[in-house]
Amino acid sequence: MRVLLIEDDDELGPAVATGLRGAGFAVDLAADLAVGDFKVAVSGYDCLVVDRNLPDGDGARFVGRQRAGGSRTPVLILTARDGLRDRVEGFALGADDYLVKPFDLAELVARVRALCRRGDVLRPTRLAVGDILVDLAARKVTRAGIVLTLSPKEFGVLELLAVRVGQVVSRTEIIECCWDEMGEPESNVVDAVMARLRRRLGLPAVISTVRGVGFRLDAVEG
């Protein structure tokens, strides 16, 4: 899941981005609305996390412009402005959630994850692919009832493949959904993660490589 964080605080922005990445999200960071506008125009996001008091305007107004332009990307407003009028205004302009600073990172992660699952269509919290069960809420994967230990990046790739089970997912799509601008899309990072994921899932193999196109997860019973 890819998230755009628009936050101008030099310490809080990188800290929140690091925390979200540690929870398995791909995170792009913008320090103002102009950069946020550019990133939204060139990249697809599963969720936006937007501060209100930004150097070039009000983040809630930015959300309003996004909604007026037809965007349905879920948005969480993250701000120190905790007055009732501020919250009502944020929701009226199109925000889906509102979290007041200071906040607990675990709560932010939970809220962002819930918004990412929502998207345009509410996603199930559990994905069953043959004998593999991907529990999105608990961030747990089992195969034939055995719990598998996956890294956040491996889980994110598996989640994407499971959502698109039976379909070929290109390397470009995997990078755009599971890596952020801090990643290395020109390297063999996708192949390395896919190799580790295949080892974790074990036999019989469920991830196929479609040469020159991408990868496909199939429902194969163990």
User: What is the phi-psi region of residue 130: left when phi exceeds 0, alpha when psi lies from -120 to 50, beta otherwise?
Assistant: left
Write down the domain spans for the chain: 2-118, 126-217
pTM, rounded to two decimals = 0.67
Pairing relationship of beta strands 57-58 and 53-54 according to DSSP bridges: antiparallel
Whether residue 97 is predicted with pLDDT greater than 70 in this model: the reply is yes
Whether residue 119 is predicted with pLDDT greater than 70 in this model: the reply is no
**For 11-63, what is each residue's pLDDT tens digit?**
999 999 999 998 889 899 999 999 999 888 878 898 999 999 999 999 999 99
Contact 3, 49 (CB under 8 A): yes
Q: What is the mean pLDDT of residues 84-108?
A: 91
Q: Could you tell me the fold of the domain covering 2-118?
A: Rossmann fold (3.40.50)
- Other CB atoms within a 10 A radius of the CB of residue 188 amount to 10
Q: What is the mean pLDDT of residues 91-108?
A: 92
* DSSP codes joined into one string, 49-107: EE-SEETTEEHHHHHHHHHHTT----EEEEES---HHHHHHHHHTT-SEEEESS--HHH
**For 154-213, what is each residue's pLDDT tens digit?**
998 998 899 889 999 988 888 877 877 665 555 588 888 999 999 999 999 999 999 888
The reply to whether 126-217 shares the fold of 2-118 is no
> Could you tell me which residue, 65 or 221, shows the higher pLDDT?
65
What is 126-217's CATH number, 3.50.50.60, 1.10.1740.10, 1.10.10.10, 2.160.10.10? 1.10.10.10
From CA 50, how far away is CA 66, in angstroms rounded?
12
From CA 137, how far away is CA 117, in angstroms rounded?
9
Q: What is the mean pLDDT of residues 2-16?
A: 94
Q: What is the mean pLDDT of residues 65-94?
A: 89
Q: What is the mean pLDDT of residues 82-111?
A: 91
From CA 105, how far away is CA 32, in angstroms rounded?
22
From CA 123, how far away is CA 126, in angstroms rounded?
9
From CA 166, how far away is CA 53, in angstroms rounded?
44
